[in-house]
Structure 1
Amino acid sequence: MQVADIDFIIIGAAKSATTWLQQSLQQDHSVYMPGPELHYFSRSYDKGDAWYQSQFTPPDDQVLIGEKSNSYLDTPGAAERIKRSIPNVKLIAQLRNPVDRAYSDYCMLFRRGDVGRDIRQYLDPRYAAGGRFLNGGLYYRQLQVYLDLFPAECMQVLLYEDVPADPQRQLDTVRRFLGLESELRITPVSNKVKDKTVPVISPGLRRVLHPLKPIVAPFRSNPVVKGLRSMIARETKYTPLGTELYERMIDFYAPEAEMLGKFMRRDLSGWLTNVSSVRGPHQAA
C-alpha cells in the first residue's frame, strides 16, 4: 500500500475516548487500523514515508484503512503534512469538555510520574497558558487549521459526552461517515479504556524502578512478576480540581467553546457551567 491509500484518520482529541472509538471500529473485519498510535505526522515525520507505510499490514485490498494519533489535532504542521500526503483522507475528531480533558490529561501524566502534585502549575491559565494541558482543549482554532485545508464534508466532529449516553449511535455516526454498512451492528467496547482508577505503581517508586524496566519487560506476563506488581500497586490519589481553578479554566475556554458550538450547531453551555463544589478525579475520568 501507499500512504495515499489511507482512508481515514482519527486526529484527536486526547483523553476523549478515541481509543474506545478505535477499538470499536477494529471489531469490523472490513476495517484495518494498526494498534499503536503512530504520531507520524506530528512527532515522527523524520522517519519517512517508508517507515510509516511499514506500520500498516492490511489483510487485503478490500478493507478500509485508518489510523489514530491524538497528537495530530494540536501539533503545528500536522495538518499540512497530512494534506500533502493524503489529500482525500477523511478526518474524525472526538472532543471533550476542555476542562475535564485537561484535568484527565494531567492525571494521566501524574500517574506516570511525569508531572508534580502542584496542579496550578499545569492547569491555571495564569501560569500554564501555552502549555500542553490547556492547549489541548483549544478545539476551534485547531479544527480551523484543518478546515482551511480540507473540505468540511471530509471532517466528522463528535463529542465525548455522547458516548456514555448512546455509544452505538456514536459508532453508527462514524460508520456512516466512513461509508460502512449501516446495518452491520458492532458491540461497542464495554470496558473503560485507560481507567485511571486502576491501581498502579506510585510515581515516586516508578522513578526508582525505571532503570529495571528493560530487564523486567519480557517477564511482565509472568505470574510471579504480576503478583509482585499487585503487591506494590495502589490506586493513585489525585489533587482535586478545586472550584476556583475550575472557574478560571472555564473563563479561559469560554470564547473557544462558544465558537465551536456555533460551528457544530450544538449547545455547549454545559461545558461552561460553574461549580460550587470541589471537582474530584472521578468526575473527570
Structure 2
Amino acid sequence: MAPPPKGPPARKKLLCMCSLSLCLTYVCYSLMGGPGALRSPLAPQGTPSPSGSPPPPPPPPGSPVAALRRPSPLRLRTSSPPPPAVSAGTAPSSASSSPAEPETPGTTTTGSSPATAAAAAAAGRQLDRLAESPGGAGGIAAAASSSSAAALAARTEAAGSAGASSSEGWTVTPDYGEKRLPQALIIGVKKGGTRALLEALRAHPDVRAVGTEPHFFDRNYDQGLDWYRDLMPKTLEGQLTMEKTPSYFVTNEAPKRIHSMAKETKLVVVVRDPVTRAISDYTQTLSKKPEIPTFEVLAFKNRTLGLIDASWSAIRIGIYALHLESWLQYFPLSQIHFVSGEQLITDPAGEMGKVQDFLGLQRVISEKHFHFNKTKGFPCLKKPEESSPPRCLGKSKGRPHPQIDRDVILRLRKFYKPFNVMFYQMTGQDFQWEQEEGEK
C-alpha cells in the first residue's frame, strides 16, 4: 500500500497566509483612505486631481509636448503683477515678453477682470488637455499661441485697471511694483514749462512720476533718502521713476546732493526767454499777493540809472549761465538736457521726441497726443485711443501777463544778453533770447 502524498511544507503555508493577510490589510487601508490612497506608497505624492483619477503619464523627454507641458494650468502669477499696457507700435520689454509663471491653485489674478482671468485659465486648460492626449502634439502650436494671446490680454487689462488718475486727471500710477529713487529729474526752471513737460512724460507707459513737487534736495534733505524714496510711485523693472522740482536749478546745494544720491542721474532743464519768464513769475506772485509793487518797481534798483536788481528772484532765476556753472562741477553736459519752453508750445511733439531720446525711451508721445488750445495759447494733452476732450493744465497756467513798459523790457534784454550768450556757449545751443521784440 502506497503512502499518502505529502502536503506542502508548513513554511510555505505560513508565507502564503502572511502574503494574503498583507494584501487584505492594504486593500482595507486603501478603501478607508479615500481617493488617491490606492497609489503606491513609493510614488510621488502630488496634489490630487479634483476628479480623484490618477494623473496621466508624463510625455517622453524632448518631445514637443514635454516642452510645452506645465505643472499647472497657465495663469498669471500674483507675486509679480503684469506690466502696464504698451501703446501700439512700441516694442515689448524683456520683462513683458517673458513667459508667465503659474500661480498657486485657487488664487486669483490681481487687477484683471473675471472675463480675462477666465480666458487665460481656459487657454491653459486647453493646452493641458492637448499635452495629455495621445497624438495631440499636432495642435500644440496653435493652442500655445491662443494661450499666449489670452494671457497677454489679461496682463494688459490688469495694468490698465490697477492705477489711479493723477492730479491733472491724465496719467495712471500703478499700485504694484517697487518704490525706487528717481533715475531722472526735471530740475528747472520755474515758469519755464516744467509742468507741461512732466504731464506729457507721464503719458508715456514707461514713465512713473510724482505729481507734486517733493522739494527734497532744497527744503527736505534732512528727512533722508528713505523718506524721499517713499514719496516715489511704485514701478516695474525697466520703468523710469521721475520727479520735478524747478527750484533745484537755482539751489546751490542741489547738484552735490543729487550727485551723492546717484551720479548717473539724468537732468532735464526747461529754459525760456528770461524776460518773458520773469514777467510770468511776477504774474503768478501778483495773483497771490495783489498788494505787491509793480513789476517796474521791483525790477530796478534805480530806474533812472537803469540799474537792474539782480537780487530779485524773478530776475536772478533767468541768469541761467550762473546757475549752470554749479551743475557742471558735478555732472557732465551729456547728462543734462535743455528743453526750449517756446518750442514746447509751438512744437510739443518735436521737443518731446528729443526728451524721450535723452531719457532712453521709445518715441511714444507724438503729435497725436497734443491739441492746441487757442484760448489758453498752449497745447493740451489728449489720449489718442479715446474720444474724450483734451485735458489742459489748470487755471494757474496761461494767465494773461500785465502790460509792462517797453523801455523796461528793452533794458532787461540788454541786461540778460551777455548771460544768454554765455549760456549758448556752455550748452552749444542758441535760443536767440537776446533779440529785441519784433526781430524774431
TM-score between the two structures when normalised by the length of structure 1? 0.75
Instruction: Choose from 4, 26, 37 the match for 2:213.
Output: 37
Q: How does 1:92-107 map to 2 (within 5 A)?
A: 92-107=268-283
| Map of 2:316 onto structure 1 | 135
1:64-213 maps to which residues of 2 (within 5 A)? 64-113=240-289, 116-124=292-300, 126=307, 128-182=309-363, 185=366, 187-188=369-370, 190=380, 193-196=393-396
Aligned-pair distance for 1:173?
Answer: 0.5
Q: Which has the higher contact order (CA 8 A, sep 6+)?
A: 1
Q: How far does residue 84 in structure 1 lie from its aligned partner after superposition? A: 1.0
Runs of 5+ unmatched residues, structure 2: 1-177, 302-306, 371-378, 381-390
Aligned to 1:273: 435
Q: Secondary structure at the match of 2:294?
A: coil
Once the two structures are aligned, what percentage of the paired residues are identical?
A: 25
Q: Structure 2 length as normaliser, TM-score?
A: 0.50
Task: Find out whether 1:256 has 2:419 as its counterpart.
Answer: yes
Measured after TM superposition, the shift of residue 130 of structure 1 is: 1.3
Where do 5+ consecutive residues of structure 1 fail to align? 199-235, 277-285
Q: For the residues of structure 1 that align with 2:401 and 2:338, how far apart are their CA atoms?
A: 30
Count of aligned positions: 237
1:160-215 alpha-carbon deviations (Å, 9 max, x no partner): 111122110100100010111135647146155355587xxxxxxxxxxxxxxxxx
Contact 1:124 1:249 in 2 (8 A): no
CA distance in 1, matches of 2:201, 2:263: 22
> 3-state SS of the aligned residue for 1:91?
strand
RMSD across aligned positions (CA): 2.4
The aligned residue for residue 21 of structure 1 is: 197
Question: What code does the residue aligned with 1:27 have?
Answer: A
Give SS of 1:62's match. Answer: coil
Counterpart residue identity of residue 404, structure 2: L
Instruction: Give, in angstroms, the shift of residue 239 of structure 1.
Output: 4.0
Provide closer, same or farther for how the CA distance between residues 123 and 195 of structure 1 changes in structure 2, counting only shifts above 3 A.
Answer: farther
Q: What CA deviation, in whole Å up to 9, does each residue of 1:98-117 have, x standing for no partner? A: 00001100100110117614
Partner amino acid, structure 2, of 1:268: F
Q: 1:121 touches 1:128 (CA, 8 Å); kept in 2?
A: no
SS at match of 2:269: strand
After TM superposition, the structure 1 stretch with the greater mean CA deviation from structure 2, 121-130 or 82-91, is 121-130
